[in-house]
Amino acid sequence: MPTEMRKIGLSLGADICWPLCFEQIVDRLQLDVPWNGQRVGVEVERLTIEPFDLRQGCSYDLVIDRLTHWYHVSREWIKKAVIMDGLYVFNNPWSVQSMEKQTTYCMLMHLGFPIPETWLVPPKEYEPKEDLQTTLERYARFFDLGQIGEGLGYPMFMKPYDGGGWKGVSRIDNESALRAAYEQSGKFVMHLQRAVEGWDRFVRCIGIGPQYHIVRYDPDAPLHNRYTMDPNPVNAAEAEHLRKVTHTINAMFGWDFNSCECLHSNGVWHPIDYANPCPDSQVTSLHYHFPWLVTSKIRWALFCAITQRKFNRTLDWAPYYEVAAGGGTFEEKLDGYAKLADARLGKDEFEEFSAKHLPHLDEVAWEFFGTDAAKDAVRAKVKALFPEHEWEEFTELFFERIQEWRRAQKA
């Protein structure tokens, strides 16, 4: 019986390490999966940026997208392929392209999540336009920033309503700091958000399809130490709660791949930054957790490509609103949201497929991450970020942390 090939495309920017590992592990799997009366293999190819005919066909079954935020040509090709060719893509390009926080804050507030008090304020400066002055004179209300700050309470954070990567973020402890930060904010439209005080744990829960991984995060550490190697950042009940939160968010917004940041304070997990649908995937920050990310991305991509999983072009929020309106405690509502998310993410089908057709993936990945090829991928990323005199030091540091992961997995 001839083998039918599925094609996975990688739409990449500055990514170096994870695509190298992704490609080599898929190649080592030597896939020949029986599916619907056929034998199915998989090939991986990197996408290029070039002119395209809007009516041209699409040769890919799935694309992992890392460029939608920044490159218009890639974004519009992906949107074309989803609309016209039924392409499956990580993540929904209409939901992910702005990475804005405003929509996600409002949605989770409506659903009852413990989101800190948040205000949106007009920008300090505007892009010059012909009718700008007229519009501002007619409709822009004067406001007292200090009064808003007093009502919201200190400390707070000022951050762009659509931002990411900590750009433009300031911690504000008093009115003078608030006014100074606003004066420097330029054309950013800003959120003012009350800080969660007295927190004892900061975690990131990474979701890839129905999979999840919880990491204790230290925002004050150097970048290469922020993802800690704490083996037990949460207990089992907390892990299940964070899973439900993360998968609810991802399924609602059409995100196959996203990370959710939460702060734990006085027994409550507060989601504070959970619109990260192009999350950090680099070995130079993830190190110990990097093999999990690569392996999980491969597992979900293979499931979607081989089964030709259908892409949801729209975001149907009505079922979540129905759960929110149904009464009950927040935990009861969260159970309802999570059931919707599990169904949308195909949790049961994915787990059955993985057990039947990919039982060797973990072993192949475990072996790969002990090879010179894996170390070369680490070194390539280190060379792109660090000065030459630090190449060997940080290559050894990150590769040793990966070996620590391998030892833990073997144990």
| Residue pLDDT, tens place only, 6-47 | 999 999 998 999 999 999 999 999 999 999 999 999 999 999
Query: Half-sphere exposure of 148 toward its Cβ, with a 13 Å CA cutoff?
Result: 22
| Cβ–Cβ under 8 Å, residues 211 and 384 | no
Residue in 258, 308, 252, 274 with CA at minimum distance from that of residue 90: 258
Domains of the chain with bracketed CATH: 3-96 (3.40.50), 117-194 (3.30.1490.20)
Tokens of 104: 């996600």
Which pTM was predicted?
0.95
Minimum mean pLDDT among 61-75, 101-115, 117-131, 282-296: which range? 61-75
pLDDT band at 98 (very low <50, low <70, confident <90, very high): low
3-state secondary structure of 198: coil
Is 373 a residue whose pLDDT tops 80? yes
**What is d(CA 349, CA 337) in angstroms, rounded to the nearest whole number?**
19
